[in-house]
Amino acid sequence: MAKAPQELIDALNEDLSYELAAIVQYIYHHVMASGFDSPEIDERFEATSMDEMKHAEKIAERIDYYEAVPTTKMGPIQVGGDVKKMIEDDLAGEHDAIARYKAHIKLAERLGDAGTRLMLEQILLDEEGHAHQWETILAK
């Protein structure tokens, strides 16, 4: 097993806390949107929550690889409002995640951690896809 600088563990735990919050937020939006005239949106909330769960799992496994303890604390959650507000809140969360992952990719690069950098780049691509999804829906 390997050890990582505390700075990297802290960054990964920050990412994990926001992924945990995203899971809950998307599931909550999925439940709250049930019964609306937009079942496609409801399905997207649910599918995106599953994507975020996969991100959380990858990050937690990476933290464990470094013999550190994955956080159980969640970042902030935005819930409530109509479907449009839910989508706007989710889009804001995706934009925050994109900025955070870009910064943490630079950190992993600076520390010479190619494995963590690659994992974060893959998650970043998913987050950019989520943002594009919500931007497209809001534009319609």
Q: Write down the pTM of the prediction.
A: 0.94
Sequence spans of domains, the chain: 6-139
Q: According to CATH, what is the number of the domain 6-139?
A: 1.20.1260.10
User: How confident is the chain (140 residues) per 10-residue block, as mean pLDDT?
Assistant: 89 98 96 74 93 98 97 94 93 98 98 97 98 94
Nearest Cα to 93, choosing from 58, 48, 36, 33? 48
Using H for helix, E for strand and C for coil, what is the string for the chain?
CCCCCHHHHHHHHHHHHHHHHHHHHHHHHHHHHCCCCCHHHHHHHHHHHHHHHHHHHHHHHHHHHCCCCCCCCCCCCCCCCCHHHHHHHHHHHHHHHHHHHHHHHHHHHHCCCHHHHHHHHHHHHHHHHHHHHHHHHHHC
Amino acid at 67: E
Write down the pLDDT at residue 35: 62
Please say whether the beta carbons of 99 and 35 come within 8 A: no
Retrieve residue 108's tokens.
């992993």
Write down the pLDDT at residue 53: 98
